[in-house]
Structure 1
Amino acid sequence: MAKVRLTKEFRFEMAHALWNYDGLCKNIHGHSYILYVTVIGEPITDQANPKLGMVMDFGDLKRIVNQEIVDKLDHAVVLSDRTPMLEQLNIPQMFERFFVFDYQPTCENMIADFAERIIKRLPAEVKLHSLKLHETATSFAEWFAEDN
């Protein structure tokens, strides 16, 4: 049977700052991110399987991406572990969703991290094909399995 690609869109709000950057993004600021997740596989042909005709249930893909990315990062602040004085930023009322990444939280680095997280959770017969992460309406990063 032919391979088919499925894409699901996710949206979340997140703030970040880029440590040691030479532009405006060195300041804490937020984005309305849009993440497109595309998987590829063959539709199930087993007549007894309740997922007959599906590559993957969209609900299962939604659960994976929400658990790994959206539920954690929506309305969060993300900084690099190289940012000095991180302890002073940990104000409980304002920073309940505060994450320190071991990388600079650029769109490029985040999309590579997201790919790793999603790949680990997909069923064996379904592969991650691509990700597209919009940071703004006109700026985005893309990740393709064939490139990695």
Structure 2
Amino acid sequence: MSNIRITKQFNFETGHALYGYDGKCKNVHGHSYKLSVTVIGKPIKDTSNVKYGMVIDFGDLKKIVKEQIVDVFDHATVFNKNTPHIELAHELKSRGHDVILVDYQPTSENMVIDFSNKIKNLLPNNIKLHSLRLQETETSFAEWFASDNE
């Protein structure tokens, strides 16, 4: 049977700042991110399985991505914990803000790598993460492909 790719899209709002950057993005700002998650696998052949004909139930994929990424990053601010932004992060946290501290510069490129690691480890064994596309603005996005990272 053929391998099939299926994609589920997600939206979330996240703030960040790029410490040491030489442009406007050094300032705290936010984006309306669009994340496309594509997995690949063979549709279920067992006619007695309630998910017959599916590669993975879109609801199951949604649960993984929502718990690992959307619910965590939505309306949070992301800072690299190894920069002076840590002081701002602590101040915001003390005032009840959602802050995520990561060990990388929170660019779309690095975020999509982080997201790939969070997702691929939770997929069923017969399903593989094929690609991610993280759109930061209407015209700018980063993509991760499993085939580029084997």
TM bucket, shorter chain: over 0.9
Offset, 1:93: 6.6
Instruction: Give aligned pairs, total.
Output: 148
Secondary structure of the 2:112 match is: helix
Using the aligned pairs only, state the percent identity: 57
Unmatched tracts of structure 1, length 5 or more: none
Distance 1:56 1:97 in 2: 32
Offset, 1:87: 3.7
Preserved contact between residue 79 and residue 89 of structure 2 (Cα < 8 Å): no
Secondary structure of the 2:121 match is: helix
TM-score by length of 2: 0.94
TM-score by length of 1: 0.95
Offset, 1:82: 2.1
Distance 1:85 1:77, change over 3 A: closer
Preserved contact between residue 18 and residue 104 of structure 1 (Cα < 8 Å): yes
Unmatched tracts of structure 2, length 5 or more: none
Residue 43 (structure 2) aligns with: 43
Distance 1:113 1:85 in 2: 20
1:52-106: CA deviations, max 9, x gaps?
Answer: 0000000000000000000000000000012216245423475531011000000
Q: Is residue 109 of structure 1 aligned with residue 96 of structure 2?
A: no
Distance 1:44 1:17, change over 3 A: same
Distance 1:85 1:61 in 2: 33
Partner amino acid, structure 1, of 2:74: D
Offset, 1:4: 0.5
Distance 1:94 1:135 in 2: 27
How is 1:1-148 mapped onto 2 (pairs within 5 angstroms)? Answer: 1-84=1-84, 86-90=86-90, 91-92=92-93, 94-148=95-149
Secondary structure of the 1:110 match is: helix
Distance 1:85 1:126, change over 3 A: closer
Query: Structure 1 runs of 4+ off > 2 angstroms?
Result: 87-96
Distance 2:30 2:85 in 1: 21
Distance 1:75 1:101 in 2: 16
Partner amino acid, structure 1, of 2:2: A
Preserved contact between residue 32 and residue 136 of structure 1 (Cα < 8 Å): yes
Preserved contact between residue 19 and residue 82 of structure 1 (Cα < 8 Å): no
